[in-house]
Amino acid sequence: MYTEKVMEHFKNPRNMGEIEDPDVTSKVGNPACGDMMNIYLRVGEKNNEKYIEDIKFKTFGCASAIATSSVTTELAMGKTLDEAEEIEEEDIAEELGGLPKIKMHCSNLSANGLHEAIYQYKKKEGMEISEDLERKHKIAQKTLEKTEEMRQEHGLNED
C-alpha cells in the first residue's frame, strides 16, 4: 500500500517539468522496469558555496517514480551541492513515509538522477569529485545503457 504522502506527491507533483536554460541536466534509467528520468538544475552561489537554486524533473515512470522525484526536488532545493549529494534513496523513501518493498527501486531512480546532475555540474565546472560520486556516475552510465537497450528491445522509446 502507498502512504498518503506518496499519493499526494503522485497527484500533485512538485517541480515537475523543465528549467529553461538549465546549468545542467541528467538522464538516468532503471533497467528493471525501463523507466527513465531527467533532472534539470540551476546552480547559484552564496557564502562562496554552490547551491541548488532551482531543480525540476521529468520522468517516464510509475507513480512511485513520480512521487519520489517530486520529494527529491523538495529535499534538494536550496541545499549546497555537497549537502544534496548526501541525499540517498533511503532518505527519499523515509520522507514519503515508506514505500512498498517492491517499489524501493523507484526511489533509486530519483536519487541517481540527482547525483548524476551534481556529477555533471561539478565536472563541467572543474570542481573536485569525490570517489563516491565518481562511482555513482559510472553505475548511472551503465544502467542508462542497459535501460536504453531494454527500451529498444520492448519498443518503449518515446520518439
Work out whether 107 is an interface residue with ligand FES (CB under 6 A).
no
Are 40 and 16 in contact by the 8 Å Cβ rule? The answer is no
33 counts as binding ligand FES under rule CB under 6 A = yes
List, by residue number, the catalytic residues: 33, 106
Span from 62-70, 83-91, 140-148, 151-159 in contact with ligand FES (CB under 6 A): 62-70
Output the smallest distance, CB 106 to ligand FES, in A.
Answer: 3
Which three cell numbers mark 93?
Answer: 523513501
Give the binding range for ligand FES (CB under 6 A) out of 5-13, 29-37, 47-55, 71-79: 29-37
- Return the axis-axis angle of helices 63-76 and 4-11, rounded to nearest 10°: 90
65 binds ligand FES (CB under 6 A): yes
**Grid cell for residue 118:** 551534481
- The yes or no reply on residue 129 touching ligand FES (CB under 6 A) is no
**Rounded Cα gap, residues 100 and 37, in angstroms:** 20
Q: Is 139 in the site for ligand FES (CB under 6 A)?
A: no
Sign of CA dihedral 77, 40, 92, 45: negative
| Position among 71, 75, 109, 140 found at the interface with ligand FES (CB under 6 A) | 109
CB closer to ligand FES, 26 vs 122 = 26
Please answer whether residues 35 and 58 qualify as being in contact, where contact means their C-beta atoms are separated by less than 8 angstroms.
Answer: no
Which residue's CB is nearer to ligand FES, number 128 or number 153? 153
Cβ-contact 112, 32 below 8 angstroms: no
Angle between helices 131-153 and 104-124 (to 10 degrees): 120
Could you list the residues that contact ligand FES (CB under 6 A)?
30, 33, 35, 61-62, 64-65, 106, 109
